[in-house]
Structures are given as C-alpha cells and as structure tokens.
Structure 1
Amino acid sequence: MLVLTRKRHETVIVGDEIRVTVEEISDTDGRHLSGTRVRLGFQCPRQLAIERSECRARGGSTFGSGADAKSAQARPGKVSEVPDAQVQLRVQVPRRVPVCLNGTPTVGLESPREPSGSDQRGMMLYRITCRREDMVSICKNITVAALAFYRFEPYPDVVAGS
C-alpha cells in the first residue's frame, strides 16, 4: 500500500486516466477543518503508476533537482490527530469504470467534455464522502482508503534574547 498525505485541492493520478482529488476535509457536521490533512492509502496493480499531480506537472523530474529546488526546513510543532473528520473525494474515471464505497456501487455524473479536437473518451465524476478507514474501490482492482486525519500545529516563534 502506498500512503500519501494530501490537503484540500490536491490530486493523485492513478495510471493515465484516474484522478482522485481531495475537495474538502470537514468535521462530521460538514464544517471545514482548516489546516487538516488526510492520509490516503492506495492499492493497485504494480503496472499502474501513482503520482502526485504536482510531480506530473513538473514533467516527472526527480525530487530536489534543478536550480529552483527549495530546501526543506523542519519547523517545530506538534502533529495531532483529528478523530471525527471526513474527506470529500472527487474521483474522475473513464466511463463504464465502476466505483464503489465500502462495496456499495456509487452514482457518478458525466464529466464536462474536453475541448474539441481532444480524442479523450467520456469521463465520469464521482463525489464520495469518506470517514476514517472507508474504502473506495475503482474497477475492482484499485482501492483508496482514508487512513487518518491530522493537523500540524506549529509552536509559537521564539524571539531570541527575550
């Protein structure tokens, strides 16, 4: 299982045609939880690539390469789990690819067509709300699970000499 941490509006691409986007992370009453991230677990056949969308946008360059690579600096703080959270996922798949939540088929909408001249097949769009450990199955051999929700809380900046 590949585990990726995602925040609101971040996407994971499975293969060439399946996109899973975190639309919202909220409490069980639907109120937005600012600064919260979700750990998503992905299981699929080995021949399917799983990429974060920001990596694909860079053209698949290796991490940390290039003159503009930023150095990561650890920021002091604590990570706390958010127990009663849920994530709304937007799952975009080719037409006729079944999508289920915990074994129950879900209903999708036809995705808006690509600009004319595109030879892309019709796509379906599913909006699925998952709580911790819910399983989304795509085409019976790809599974996405919401494993955990957490929030990073940085410690207040300490001014030197005070």
Structure 2
Amino acid sequence: MLILTRKLNESIIIGDNIEITITAIEGDQVKLGIKAPKQIDVHRKEIYDAIQTENSAASCTDLDLLKHFQEKLNKK
C-alpha cells in the first residue's frame, strides 16, 4: 500500500485520467473529490463489497430451480 500525505486542495493522480483531491478536512474526516472518466465505476469500499457479494449470490443459481423452469417451458 502506498501512503501519501496531502494537504487541503492538493491532489494525487492515478494513471493518466483519475485525480483525487482533498476538498475538506473536518475533525477526523477527510472529504475527497474524485475526477474520473464516466466509464470507470467509483464506489465506497463497503458499497463495492456489497455489490460483489450480491453478484456472487446471483451467479449461484439453484439447478433445481432451473430444472423446474425448464419443465414448465417444455409443458407449453
């Protein structure tokens, strides 16, 4: 992990097209501004983790459920 020290209104650049700027420091909170291309998803880590968990659960379809739908389709 790279650790950087930045002051208010200072930035870091990731790659050629992502800029992260310190926009405010209030007590123990730091507010970040993120400039990135629209095609790049930017999420808080807990949201990203929740999305990954949901995607993983959705991809584990019960085979019995699929067989049930297959049987219903074949009856039509």
TM (norm. structure 1) is: 0.28
Kindly indicate whether residue 9 of structure 2 is the aligned counterpart of residue 9 of structure 1.
yes
Deviation at 1:96, TM superposition (A): 1.8
Deviation at 1:94, TM superposition (A): 0.4
Aligned alpha-carbon RMSD (Å): 1.2
Deviation at 1:93, TM superposition (A): 0.5
Which of the two has higher C-alpha Rg?
Answer: 2
Moved over 2 A (4+): none
State the match for 1:94 in structure 2.
37
TM (norm. structure 2) is: 0.59
Structure 2 distance, partners of 1:100, 1:89, is: 12
More strand by proportion, 1 or 2? Answer: 1
State the match for 2:20 in structure 1.
20
Deviations 1:48-85 (A, max 9, x none): xxxxxxxxxxxxxxxxxxxxxxxxxxxxxxxxxxxxx0
Greater RCO (CA < 8 Å, at least 6 residues apart): 1
**Matched pairs, number:** 48
State the match for 2:51 in structure 1.
none
In structure 2, list runs of 5 or more residues that go unmatched.
49-76
Letter in 2 for 1:86: Q
**Percent identity of equivalent pairs:** 38
More helix by proportion, 1 or 2? Answer: 2
In structure 1, list runs of 5 or more residues that go unmatched.
28-84, 106-162
Structure 2 distance, partners of 1:3, 1:19, is: 16
